[in-house]
Structure 1
Amino acid sequence: MTGPRPHPPARPPRGRQRASHSLDAVLAGAVALLDEAGVSALTLRALAARLGTGVGSIYWYVSSKDELLDRAIDHVLGSALTEIEAQPATADPIDDLRTMAVTLFDAIVDRPWLGGYFMRNTDVKGNSLRLYEKLGQQTLRLGLTPRQRFHAVSAVVGVVVGNAVDMGQEPPPEVLDGIVDREEFLGRYADTWRALDAREFPFVSEIVDEFAGHDDKEQFLAALELTLAGLRLQAGA
């Protein structure tokens, strides 16, 4: 399996300003804009201003915002793919799948904008497809049918991306502004839940203390473990 391959820059039409920055610098700037304010903040003009260059220089590499977004996504996922490919394989494909899933989760959790675009660019040159392939290859080491493999990888990706996007959401304004901390904010909900009639809400009453002090990463790992335990059971591994 080859490593991440950035799309080669297309030759611009005659008259475009020659690039004054490298492709890596352009993509790093695009990712920084996305990290700071999401997809809506990524424009060719904003990127040019950030890099201290003209918009024509950006056009040396991309022809539109959509292409810029695709390349930025591919750039980030390429780093995750490189890290995954560097991890040594073990005798247990499910253990390897767990390691890959956690690596991918860590790449997405601080970038909630990325979760919604994970499988956006799935052509043969895209790193999202290569990541999907790397996860799927672990299921080839298990006694599963093609449908079971497809469902298994879909379930793992769903747990990773869903939890990462949920955790990466911007905190409520009062937490963001430092008026209350996370524990106090969750505690308010917990107190409301504790006041509920336990006969009507037996489950909520049972788990309210767990909710009040839960760790988001631990919650993700538990969900991943449940998914992998089901896969192990299905594969008889």
Structure 2
Amino acid sequence: MTGPRALSTEGSPRGRKRGSHSLEAVLSAAVALLDEAGAPALTFRALAARLGTGVGTIYWYVSNKEELLDRATDHAIGGVLALVEAQPESDDPIADLRAMAITLFDAIVDRPWLSAYFMRNTDVQGNSLRLYEKLGQQTLRLDLTPRQRFHAVSAVTGVVVGTAADLGVEAPQEVLDGHVDRDAYLGRFVEQWRSLDGAEFPFVQQIADEFAGHDDRDQFLAALELTLSGLRLQAGTR
């Protein structure tokens, strides 16, 4: 994550002919391509074709694909920020932090590509930095040191982004092809774990039934709750 030197979302290279499309249109089309097939699908040629323009138009707004990815990510995060800002504040900052975290998690699960670029470059990701600030402001309502606040928000975003990214990993081809469903696929591992030596793998054997058919979102919520419970203890709140 780079330092916040600028929060511009509209800056464009000098000396280039202005494109016929707005930055909003370019980024909306980029997000649509990312939603359809991820980062590999987002090329300047594909984006120009989607917009019905030339590749040169794209270069008026961004210098390279990495900047395009950062700006497209921030464009999508703008919607998450709007949802977070619309949430009413309660008298419990940790409950508010939980609600914000879940909102971000759901957005990344819907758009797995976001996990790789969120907060990657705050020079151009103003919405991402503002969302990070909104999360952090909840810790200002707690009796914590600056280091504890930093670690708290880092832990929460780590659980959110890391878990959502893991859930966004493409399923095995046999599941995608419909040859086997998710429960049957997981069941293979469950049967293997149950057959292990109980003296050598007591934990794995005990949780095998929990792993079978587990709900991924429940697993995330449990991890988030563990993190927030630790924060509540550290802050001395109930």
For this structure pair, what is the TM-score category when the shorter chain's length is used for normalisation?
A: over 0.9
Q: What's the counterpart of residue 65 of structure 1?
A: 65
Partners of 1:84 and 1:190 in 2: CA distance: 39
1:8 counterpart = 2:10:
yes
What are the within-5 Å matches in structure 2 for residues 19-34 of structure 1? Answer: 19-34=19-34
- Pick which of 168-177 and 25-34 moved more: 25-34
C-alpha deviation, 1:83, in angstroms: 0.7
Give secondary structure in 2 for the equivalent of 1:156. Answer: helix
What are the within-5 Å matches in structure 2 for residues 167-178 of structure 1? Answer: 167-178=167-178
1:42 counterpart = 2:42:
yes
Partners of 1:211 and 1:63 in 2: CA distance: 46
C-alpha deviation, 1:125, in angstroms: 5.8
C-alpha deviation, 1:11, in angstroms: 6.2
State whether residues 6 and 71 of structure 1, in contact with CA within 8 Å, keep that contact through their aligned partners in structure 2.
no
What are the within-5 Å matches in structure 2 for residues 151-230 of structure 1? Answer: 151-230=151-230
Gaps of 5+ in 1: none
Q: What's the counterpart of residue 96 of structure 2?
A: 96
C-alpha deviation, 1:175, in angstroms: 0.3
Counterpart AA for 1:128: S
Distance 1:119 1:125, change over 3 A: closer
- Pick which of 43-52 and 5-14 moved more: 5-14
Which structure exhibits the higher relative contact order, with contacts defined as CA atoms closer than 8 Å and separated by 6 or more residues? Answer: 2
Partners of 1:12 and 1:179 in 2: CA distance: 53
C-alpha deviation, 1:107, in angstroms: 1.0
C-alpha deviation, 1:181, in angstroms: 0.6
- TM-score using structure 1 length: 0.92
Distance 1:124 1:172, change over 3 A: closer
Cα root mean square deviation, aligned? 1.6
State whether residues 73 and 117 of structure 1, in contact with CA within 8 Å, keep that contact through their aligned partners in structure 2.
yes
Counterpart AA for 1:144: L
Counterpart AA for 2:109: V
State whether residues 6 and 75 of structure 1, in contact with CA within 8 Å, keep that contact through their aligned partners in structure 2.
no
Q: What's the counterpart of residue 106 of structure 1?
A: 106
Give secondary structure in 1 for the equivalent of 2:113. Answer: helix
Distance 1:227 1:73, change over 3 A: same
Count of residues in Structure 1 that have an aligned counterpart in Structure 2? 231
Work out the percentage of aligned pairs sharing the same amino acid. 73
Distance 1:165 1:151, change over 3 A: same
Counterpart AA for 1:153: V
Partners of 2:165 and 2:149 in 1: CA distance: 24
Give secondary structure in 1 for the equivalent of 2:60. Answer: coil
